Amino acid sequence: MAYSEAKEPRKDGRTSDDMYIFDFHTILEATANFSSSNKIGEGGFGPVYKGKLSSGQEIAIKRLSKSSGQGLIEFKNEAMLIFKLQHTNLVRLLGFCIDREERILVYEYFPNKSLNIYLFGDSYKKNILKWKVRLKIIEGVTQGVVYLHQYSRLKVIHRDLKASNILLDNELNPKITDFGMARIFGMTESEEQTNRIVGT
């Protein structure tokens, strides 16, 4: 997404759709110049950093790798998709940043990180996932998927749903993230042929 393709930002840095456009200098300050100590993950499309805005708000910053294979279409897809989708079990996109070749997505931050860490991490984290908690996570993910498939304004197939793409909030409620591989269907469509294997 280039600035020419995005809607004109207002003076407060928001587009007319209320998506926030972050300045690259703000991103650098928030992450201490993408310090390795702030790195919290590495996805197929690039690293994720924890950041802190001058207001004190903690954010998660996904910096798309130039060699990731996620091009302009995937970036635009993920940004507009997540912003338009609103559900308690979907991660919330706060905004984006474009600066020269840099393409960055800014999300709400979850200190508990991903379900993957709890399933395959140390025994302490595994013990936190009692059956009642596991059931709550399963129900939350299911509710998010049902919303994407049936009740959102766009019919969305995630195509990369896995434990590392399920974030957990402070109460261990699940939030589906990473929509770079998602496919949008028309409301009357139920199937489509794809040309390449993607996701999980």
Cα 76–Cα 77–Cα 81 angle in degrees, nearest 5: 115
Query: Could you give the residue numbers annotated as active site?
Result: 160
Q: Which amino acid is at 86?
A: Q
Q: How far is CA 2 from CA 44, 76, 149, in A?
A: 22, 9, 29
Answer yes or no: are the C-beta atoms of 48 and 61 closer than 8 Å.
yes
Cα 162–Cα 164–Cα 169 angle in degrees, nearest 5: 110
Show Cβ contacts of residue 113 under 8 Å, excluding neighbours closer than 6 positions.
40, 41, 167, 168
C-alpha distance across the termini of the chain, in Å: 26
The pair of structure tokens assigned to 190 is 């139920």
